[in-house]
Amino acid sequence: MIVTLRDCPENTKCVLVDSDIPDSLKNRLMGMGWLPGKMIEVVRRAPMGDPTIYLVDSTKIFLREDESQMIKVRPIYPMPLAVAEKGVYKIVSFLGGGPRFMERAKNNGLSIGNIVEVISNPLRGKIIVMVNGREYTIGRGFSEKIFVEAVK
Amino acid sequence: MAKKIKIALVGNPNVGKTALFNALTGSHQYVANWPGVTVEKKTGRFSWKDYEVDVVDLPGIYTLRARSIDERVARDYLIQERPDVVLDVVDATNLSRNLYLTIQLSEMNLKTVLILNQMDQVENMDIKINTSELSKRLGIRVVETVATKGVDLDEIMEAALDTSLSVRYQIYPEPFEKLVKKIEEISKGELKNNGIPLRWLALSFSEGDELAKKILEKGGLIKEVEKAAAASEYQNASLVIARSRYNFISSTLKQVEVRPKASWTVTDALDHVFTHKILGIPIFVSILWMMFEFAFSSSSPLSDLIELGFNALGSYAHAIPGWLGSLIGDGIISGVGSVLVFVPLIFFMFFAMGILEDTGYMSRAAFLIDRLMHRFKLSGKAFIPMILGFGCNASAIMTTRTVESEKERIISILINPFISCSARLVVYAVIAGAFFGKFAGLVIFSIYMVSVVFALSMAVVFSFLLKSRESSPLTMELPRYQLPTGKGLWIYMWSRGKHFLKKAGGIILGATVLVWFLSNMPWGTSAQNSWAADIGKTLAPIFAPLHFGWHITLALLFGGVAKEVTVTTLGTFAGGNLSVFLKTVLDPINAYALMLFVLIYIPCVATQAVMHMETGSYKWPILSVIWSLSSAYIITFLFETVGHLVVRI
Ligand SMILES: Nc1nc2c(ncn2[C@@H]2O[C@H](COP(=O)(O)OP(=O)(O)OP(=O)(O)O)[C@@H](O)[C@H]2O)c(=O)[nH]1
Ligand SMILES: [Mg+2]
């Protein structure tokens, strides 16, 4: 799925897609090595939710929401459920995983190795998934911590 | 006759150009670990064998397409001045990004030598670079350096004078190369004599660069060139160009560079803490607090010592009969001395700031605080000048050149004087020391809080008045962390603190002697009936609502020259004991009000001059003076009124 860089939570890895970023920004990014096809890693969001640090090659730069919203990317596996499009996935890892998190995961039928089907993912707001034939609604913050891979 | 040669240092921001400049010329230009330190071109000179070498240090650039002022300085220099040799300084740990500019430089037809700087880091990170292969593939000479540890002049100069190699990249797809040739052909007749590099012109035009367009327009060629471009399949070739360049770079690097697999570095670990969602901001605030705390507590024993010294000197001086004793005792020692006592404080303050700047924390702080700045219609880039303003507003205002949007830059310039500089720290230290005893540190910190809050609020007001819509796009690099070197810190502290000493010996001394003279004229009268008193008393009614007497009025008047003069002026009247004297003319509320007034009331002469220079008009410094005077008056008045009411109750 093609999403904007802004939609990608921390620890997502994604590939830059050719898109129509305004010229001034585009040129600056290109000079820093941000070319279509390059891998971007979302490193850290600032305390107040903006800006965000990204890693390309070995350079860390930070961008604001306004700019990252204009940049189109394709997340690669394993990706957080938060940016997974409709389809069937296998859960490969959790990020974090304190006891409360694990408890919640279990209540939603989510555990490593399980198969989930994403029914709908509006990128803003809650995600609806199907696990073991039951539907669950998952909050965004939670979905950012569940990493999945595609099922062949 | 010595042969003359002109060398320019060009490269990405923060790669070590200025460090190399210092190594080459033996000067002490400003080096720090964040991108955008150098914002103007700096010239230096050295001689080597029978050569006279002029070296120019330029601001860092990522590409030749410039938007902010500092970038334009670098680009324009390359186009207009055409240096004989360009030393393209790169961070050797990050070749793939750095070489992009290298390619652009060769397209400008500039003789380039590649300087692989930070080779010590390359070793640390276990990266292997085959330098001779790199040189062969690029067709330019390559020299390895560690600029912070000194350089091998012979090697660099031999490379710079070597003409045996020549570049000819064939990196663009054939059909596009045809278009480029065609544009070169078209512009040849008209522009050849201007010395404009045609290949650069053709490529930049294809990238959509405004400067290239303007040049073509001036030559009356734009129509023809646009037609040629329209006939080809490359209406907007910026992507093709960038991709070809990077393909070339990555195929080159495959042959010359071996990097170990990326692993968790010290920088990553530190960033994990310093940019942490919850801990990040508390850490930032504590770091600032620690800076002040460090400066105060480590300087106070030294300051006490100096004060003792001056007291002793003062009593000797007063023993000298006649006007000379008075001049030395009251004017110089009691006046200028009251400022010199704080030399250690200023130096330690700069020491702390040097640590902040050289570790790499600066851009992290900008990252943490950007959201907040955004709310005040500023960007993270405008934040760095604010922090630097704690040292000196005049030099901080220069760094606003990196702010891209012109309006945002003007706003950053206008609010900077409200950030409390180290000169004002002297004033606070004297007043708070006299009135608030144990709580002096806290009181001073509160003034700093007021300073930041006031500056930010003014940013909102100014951006409303100037109709500045949005802050400019922000792409800021986070450099590696590093341990500051003792030598680096020493140079930083000394070169900044030196200004303070110079000021003390120059403008402050001058103003103080003038005040002493005025306070003793007509000769032999008491201070009460002197000319100084006349001036003070004439103006005092203006300040009567603020409960400032004529001494204070006079001090504020002369403090407009340099803030420290406020203290030295009062010192002239104090007869050796400033804090006792202050208590006779102020109460604690007055005292705090005076600190507020000094914080806001007027940018010093040096700052006004820089404002004029950086904006190119008198409008902004004048506005700044009027604005700060009136807001200082209003705020102080409100504070006094409320303060005295509360205390009476
Ligand atoms: N380890 C190491 N650090 C270096 C070397 N050269 C420079 N540095 C450090 O890199 C940082 C940047 O150096 P500067 O000389 O200010 O860089 P610049 O290229 O002039 O930067 P701008 O003026 O911002 O464009 C400083 O903290 C230097 O101490 C080097 O060879 N090795
Ligand atoms: Mg520099």
- Domain ends where: A53, A75, A97? A75
Encoding tokens for residue B219?
């030559």
Same domain assignment for residues A91 and A138:
yes
Same domain assignment for residues A84 and A62:
no
In which region does residue B270 sit, left (phi positive, over 0), alpha (psi from -120 to 50) or beta (all else)? alpha
Amino acid at B484: P
What's the pLDDT at B348? Answer: 92
Most B-contacting residue of A6, A34, A44 (CB-CB within 10 A), to test interface? A44
What's the pLDDT at A35? Answer: 87
Same domain assignment for residues A69 and A87:
no
CA atoms within 13 A on the CB side of B287: 18
Nearest in space to B499 (alpha carbons), one of B572, B441, B558, B564: B564
Is A72 in contact with A133 (CB distance < 8 Å)? no
Most A-contacting residue of B68, B103, B367, B375 (CB-CB within 10 A), to test interface? B367
Report phi then psi at B532, rounded to 5. -55, -45
Same domain assignment for residues A118 and A102:
yes
Is B603 in contact with B621 (CB distance < 8 Å)? yes
Q: Could you give all domains of chain B from N- to C-terminal order, each with its CATH number?
A: 3-161 (3.40.50.300), 174-258 (1.10.287.1770), 280-648 (no CATH)
Cβ–Cβ of A35/B243 closer than 8 Å?
yes
Same domain assignment for residues A84 and A145:
yes
- pLDDT-based confidence at residue B131 (cuts at 50, 70, 90): very high
Each residue of B376-411: pLDDT tens digit?
A: 888 778 888 999 999 889 989 999 998 888 888 999
CA-nearest residue, atom 9 of ligand 1: B16
- Domain ends where: A47, A75, A103? A75
What's the pLDDT at B145? Answer: 96
Query: Got the DSSP string for B514-553?
Result: HHHHHHHTTTT--GGGSHHHHHHHHHHHHHGGGT--HHHH
Same domain assignment for residues A67 and A87:
no
Q: Give the C-alpha separation, B349 to B500, whole Å.
A: 12
Is B151 in contact with B20 (CB distance < 8 Å)? yes
Same domain assignment for residues A131 and A94:
yes
CA atoms within 13 A on the CB side of A8: 32
- Domain ends where: A57, A75, A93? A75
Same domain assignment for residues A85 and A68:
no
Q: Determine the distance in angstroms separating the CA of A5 from the nearest CA of chain B, rounded to an integer.
A: 14
Encoding tokens for residue B449?
């809080």
Same domain assignment for residues A62 and A89:
no
Q: Give the C-alpha separation, B183 to B167, whole Å.
A: 21
Same domain assignment for residues A94 and A39:
no
ipTM: 0.92
Is the distance from the beta carbon of residue B12 to the nearest atom of ligand 1 less than 6 Å?
Answer: no
Encoding tokens for residue B330?
């009251």
Mean pLDDT of B23-31: 91
Same domain assignment for residues A110 and A138:
yes
- Three-class secondary structure assignment of B56-104: EECCCCCCCCCCCHHHHHHHHHHHHHCCCEEEEEEEHHHHHHHHHHHHH
Same domain assignment for residues A32 and A53:
yes
- Block residue for tokens 């001395």: B337
Greatest mean pLDDT range, A22-26, A97-101, B216-220, B267-271:
B267-271
Domain encompassing residue A40: 3-75
* CATH number of the domain where residue A106 is located: 2.30.30.90
Domain count, chain A: 2
Closest chain B CA to residue A48: B371
Pick from B42-51, B160-169, B582-591: least confident: B160-169
pLDDT tens-place values along chain A, 152 residues long: 899 999 999 999 999 997 778 877 888 888 888 988 899 999 999 998 889 999 998 899 999 988 899 999 999 989 999 999 999 999 888 887 778 888 888 887 788 888 999 998 888 888 999 888 888 888 888 889 899 998 87
The answer to whether B65 faces chain A, any CB pair under 8 Å, is yes
Chain A residues whose beta carbon lies within 8 Å of the beta carbon of residue B262: 58
Could you tell me how far CA B121 lies from the centroid of its own chain? 26
Which segments of B208-261 does DSSP mark as H helices, in order? 210-218, 222-231, 238-256
